[in-house]
Structure 1
């Protein structure tokens, strides 16, 4: 007799918090949402949190919860992360803040699930108003977008309150950049704080081969020495990209991670720029609640990789590798740019290729194709195509 249940495996990056979600087969696909609120961005390090709602009957085992670190996101919500690698796995929401005996509902982070297609379906973007610039929603434009929390009943259909494509808040300030500017970056709990300086001539001195954000890793092609790919718009902005690799997904617990590529010389622990970058080969002294996890130990033919996260709220912070010691990936959700979540006076996102899409296409084909199409549409709407096409022409590859 066929089972009436379906089991989906889930895990963090280090594997210490492997678990299974077993639900009645009719419960699938789960309803999932992308939350863009300021708190979710700063507690994940990504431009939005991706979570799937579990039915009221679901409750994780006490053995699983004992392996995880809780963080009270609010009076009602608690996130649970792996204390080793920082992966966010679950979220608990009390039904009644004042009476916990009434129980709770649970959400599972989409990026931790071994399967995506047929397991969950995104319903909408929510809390877009916090982004000021629509944030990640403009990269995935075919979903309804709500200024706050969607009403999830028939009397309030999502389409009635959906915001338009490329919505921008009327409160969004006009930014006039200055060479002396420094951008404040922080996690949700403020246990990790640092600043980024505007790109300058010194920013060109970092060294790195062309990255997967532009070229797939298996091509292993070196770009021209005089073309610093991490600087865009005539050197006025840092390059940004969206990564779909399994390691980033499992490390964050989110479906995608957005990275800004910044020379370490432009990063400081203070707003004045007097306390310079000293990771990953210095100590963690002065870095607050920052914790490191060596996700790849490296060897003769590979590089060592250390991923950093906040040990309290679990936000992804840095990706570092000894193959490029003077260039670091910064989780974009930490950036506190006054013009909006995408920090457009600081960053320009690569839109002609989803980094490591080869990892995601077999697991989450529908999401991968939708995001690729959305990124390219965004680039065309924002006139990013010409510059990025020029770089592709230089490398001899088109995507």
Structure 2
């Protein structure tokens, strides 16, 4: 009896890069771990990444419209030079490709997440603390390479990196993997209240069916005591398709709280940034060299930027809790999720994380 095949298709946001490949249906779902390594965070702007391996008997994807970035001696990363979507890993030892999970169409049932790897790079556990189980089973938690490193207990932290004792300093550095994009974030102050937003965005997504107006310009981008910047997780289609990954973590920062590496006031188009208009009202900015997802920039609120949390260099670790107040009540645009099991796991984990304080 012939082995049945399942076709898996992927595409970048702008549609210039498309790829389909076959896997044996009997091998689905493919067991996979979420990667929390420094390289992945700095290159994607996300707190974790995942990929679908392509069997070697498939033709290689066409790479003409993509930009190569040699992130290590092990592999090359390929991203769309027009919209920034991270599409592929190409491994040098055998030439096999892996496709970014967020670029895959109809991904439910393609991957079965079993745990986390390279937690040690996060210093504070990163997003692995929000997903301690998958499918009711305790998630594997590797500090480094799976099976070849120690396992990390829940609430693992590198010694002396707790957010409660971390030194916040005057400014928080943010940078992509290649260093072509670098800037600094200042702590909230009275100037932060001068930013404006007609929509509450993360708190009440515009497609939620509820009021999405902010007539009193409530500064939702700050914590309640106004000492931290708000941060949250987004599962919307455009964020997923543009980053190439299921969840994009954003923090919301007034433009007046940003400075460039040379101490100049913030302005668009510095360093290796490239822009892509993802909708009639919004631009995405990414590094043209390494493909890092950097900013979401809305025409409706030009004084406020969404910044990818994976680029932050906080002393406490990847979650940057001495700087950020995480929204734990919802994964924004949860209804858009193309992998409901993963998003439900994240949502439940965030709620429990909030209850535990």
TM-score w.r.t. length of structure 1: 0.83
The answer for the alignment partner of 1:245 in structure 2 is 236
Report how many residues are paired: 348
- Report if aligned partners of 2:187, 2:227 keep a CA contact under 8 Å in 1: yes
Q: Which of 169, 177, 199 is the matching residue for 2:188?
A: 199
1:191-210, Cα deviation, whole Å (9 max, x unpaired): 11111111111101111134
- Report if aligned partners of 2:91, 2:97 keep a CA contact under 8 Å in 1: yes
**Residues 102-121 of structure 1 aligned to structure 2 (within 5 Å):** 103-121=94-112
The answer for the alignment partner of 2:77 in structure 1 is 79
State the SS of the aligned residue for 2:203: coil
Q: Return closer, same or farther for 1:83/1:223 CA change in 2, 3 Å cut-off.
A: same
Q: Return closer, same or farther for 1:339/1:136 CA change in 2, 3 Å cut-off.
A: same
Say yes or no: does 1:374 pair with 2:349: yes
User: Once superposed, what is the RMSD of the aligned Cα atoms?
Assistant: 1.9
Q: Which of 274, 284, 292 is the matching residue for 1:291?
A: 274
Say yes or no: does 1:185 pair with 2:174: yes
- Report if aligned partners of 1:31, 1:53 keep a CA contact under 8 Å in 2: no
The answer for the alignment partner of 2:33 in structure 1 is 33
Separation in 2 of the partners of 1:11 and 1:370? 25
State the SS of the aligned residue for 1:169: coil
1:92-132, Cα deviation, whole Å (9 max, x unpaired): 1122xxxxxxx323221110111222111112211111111
The answer for the alignment partner of 1:397 in structure 2 is none
Quote how far apart the aligned CAs of 1:27 are: 2.7
- Report if aligned partners of 1:357, 1:368 keep a CA contact under 8 Å in 2: yes
Separation in 2 of the partners of 1:5 and 1:378? 40
- Report if aligned partners of 1:210, 1:229 keep a CA contact under 8 Å in 2: no
Separation in 1 of the partners of 2:58 and 2:179? 32
Quote how far apart the aligned CAs of 1:33 are: 2.2
Separation in 2 of the partners of 1:28 and 1:58? 16
Quote how far apart the aligned CAs of 1:325 are: 0.6
Q: Which of 198, 203, 206 is the matching residue for 1:214?
A: 203
The answer for the alignment partner of 1:308 in structure 2 is 285
Higher helix share: 1
- Report if aligned partners of 1:94, 1:104 keep a CA contact under 8 Å in 2: yes
Unaligned runs of 5+ in 2: 134-138
Q: Which of 60, 67, 70 is the matching residue for 2:68?
A: 70
Quote how far apart the aligned CAs of 1:30 are: 2.1
Separation in 1 of the partners of 2:132 and 2:54? 25
Q: Which of 307, 318, 322 is the matching residue for 2:299?
A: 322
Say yes or no: does 1:20 pair with 2:20: yes
Separation in 2 of the partners of 1:378 and 1:215? 21
The answer for the alignment partner of 2:310 in structure 1 is 333
Quote how far apart the aligned CAs of 1:55 are: 3.3
1:129-154, Cα deviation, whole Å (9 max, x unpaired): 11110001112221221100102xxx
- Report if aligned partners of 1:45, 1:334 keep a CA contact under 8 Å in 2: yes
TM-score w.r.t. length of structure 2: 0.92
- Report if aligned partners of 1:199, 1:237 keep a CA contact under 8 Å in 2: yes
1:49-97, Cα deviation, whole Å (9 max, x unpaired): 2223333434523xx12221111010111101111011001101122xx
State the SS of the aligned residue for 1:317: strand
- Higher Cα radius of gyration: 1
**Residues 120-139 of structure 1 aligned to structure 2 (within 5 Å):** 120-139=111-130
Say yes or no: does 1:232 pair with 2:223: yes
Q: Return closer, same or farther for 1:209/1:138 CA change in 2, 3 Å cut-off.
A: farther
Unaligned runs of 5+ in 1: 96-102, 299-303, 383-399
Separation in 2 of the partners of 1:54 and 1:18? 14
State the SS of the aligned residue for 2:197: coil
Separation in 2 of the partners of 1:211 and 1:111? 25
- Report if aligned partners of 1:77, 1:92 keep a CA contact under 8 Å in 2: yes
Q: Which of 244, 251, 255 is the matching residue for 1:264?
A: 255
- Report if aligned partners of 1:46, 1:256 keep a CA contact under 8 Å in 2: yes
The answer for the alignment partner of 2:321 in structure 1 is 344
Separation in 2 of the partners of 1:109 and 1:141? 23
